[in-house]
Homo-oligomer: A and B are copies of this chain.
């Protein structure tokens, strides 16, 4: 009955895993979610029950060993990604893996080598590429609508900082938060970044600094093509999730506004106002999560190339490492300095 559908196993039933489960169950007809694994048995069962998935397991090997499973969606903790990718590749499963594959380049490289050797597909979860706003900007750059790109700005601010406990294991702001923006920069301009310069600080919560991390940063990017870009990151924008980009080209500029829950404006006695922008990445990016997963399922079904590759998974990690090095050494850092 599900002959034409791609049989998928989900590994990790946390927040992002449940999101993908919902989309596979209700929004992506060509995918069939047949099994869910989570080390927390209760979580696996609840997720399976909620989205009508027939099977829930504790050990993800049961997913990898299931011959019916054609593809896996890896949403487990980051430090397990590389290992699961390698094992899934060895079992011939196509892989969708949440970002990043790992915080260490050598592990990423080993995982990518395993994928290459196995000849399976690997797509990494840079969902923002599928967002309507950013896709429109990429289209404007790629089509020549704004001419040759010259300057890029990315504003990417969270509504509030994560818990300190999370900060400590996050790999730091560049690997945890900016990594999306590093990917976005490469995606929008269509050229590789060669050098970064970081100006950053702890402005929001001293505890973040005590944990060895930063909460506010501006990173300058120099692309191989000559384009200069900046990324503005803050862990706290009290008005909500601030996600904007702007590209100046020789024939014009394109910029995006935030997304709002409605298009209503209220004119009162004090001001002219609207409701705050969408406040959470799941609200803001819900469509992009559906689109990226549909694209993955489609690539598997039709044996087409995935839209976000293993190389795309690796490059932002190099950028993140260089950005941290630039901060530590207070100087511009070339990517080849960290990419031994």
Interface residues, chain A, with chain B CB atoms under 8 Å away: 26-27, 29, 50, 52, 132-133, 135-137, 140, 145-146, 148, 150-151, 153, 157, 197, 199-201, 203-204, 216-218, 220, 222, 226, 228-230, 232, 234, 236-240, 242, 248, 250-259, 261-277, 330-332
A269 touches B257 (CB 8 A): no
Expressed in whole angstroms, the minimum distance between the Cβ of A285 and any Cβ of chain B is 13
Main secondary structure of the interface of A (DSSP, over half): mixed
A216 touches B150 (CB 8 A): yes
B268 touches A272 (CB 8 A): no
Known A146-B268, A239-B267, A272-B273; judge A151-B256 contact (CB<8 A): no
A-B CB contact pairs (8 Å), 22 listed:
A26-B29, A29-B50, A132-B261, A132-B263, A140-B264, A140-B266, A150-B216, A151-B218, A201-B228, A220-B220, A234-B248, A238-B250, A238-B269, A242-B267, A251-B269, A252-B266, A254-B264, A254-B265, A255-B264, A256-B264, A257-B265, A272-B273
B232 touches A153 (CB 8 A): yes
Alpha-carbon distance A268/B140, docked complex (angstroms): 11
Which of B146, B150, B238 is the one whose CB lies under 8 Å from A251? B238
Which residues of the other chain, B, contact A150 by a CB distance below 8 angstroms? 203-204, 216, 234
Residue with the highest number of chain B CB atoms closer than 10 Å, among A132, A234, A248? A248
B275 touches A274 (CB 8 A): no
Alpha-carbon distance A218/B136, docked complex (angstroms): 24
Expressed in whole angstroms, the minimum distance between the Cβ of A306 and any Cβ of chain B is 23
Which of B201, B240, B265, B331 is the one whose CB lies under 8 Å from A226? B201
Which residues of the other chain, B, contact A268 by a CB distance below 8 angstroms? 145-146, 238-239, 251-252
B234 touches A151 (CB 8 A): yes
Residue with the highest number of chain B CB atoms closer than 10 Å, among A197, A200, A277, A331? A197
Known A257-B265, A276-B271; judge A220-B248 contact (CB<8 A): no
A238 touches B252 (CB 8 A): yes
Known A27-B27, A151-B216, A232-B151; judge A272-B276 contact (CB<8 A): yes
Of all A-B residue pairs in the complex, the 8 with the closest CB atoms, nearest first, are: A239-B267, A252-B268, A273-B273, A271-B273, A257-B263, A26-B26, A132-B262, A136-B264
Residue with the highest number of chain B CB atoms closer than 10 Å, among A203, A204, A263? A263
A272 touches B277 (CB 8 A): yes
Q: Please name the residue on chain B nearest to A51 by beta carbon.
A: B29
Which of B232, B250, B267 is the one whose CB lies under 8 Å from A252? B267
Which residues of the other chain, B, contact A136 by a CB distance below 8 angstroms? 261-262, 264, 275
Expressed in whole angstroms, the minimum distance between the Cβ of A323 and any Cβ of chain B is 13
Expressed in whole angstroms, the minimum distance between the Cβ of A295 and any Cβ of chain B is 17
Which residues of the other chain, B, contact A199 by a CB distance below 8 angstroms? 197, 220, 222, 228
Given contacts A254-B264, A254-B265, list 15 more A-B pairs with CB under 8 A. Answer: A26-B26, A133-B264, A136-B262, A151-B218, A151-B232, A199-B220, A199-B222, A203-B226, A220-B230, A238-B252, A242-B253, A252-B267, A257-B264, A272-B274, A273-B273
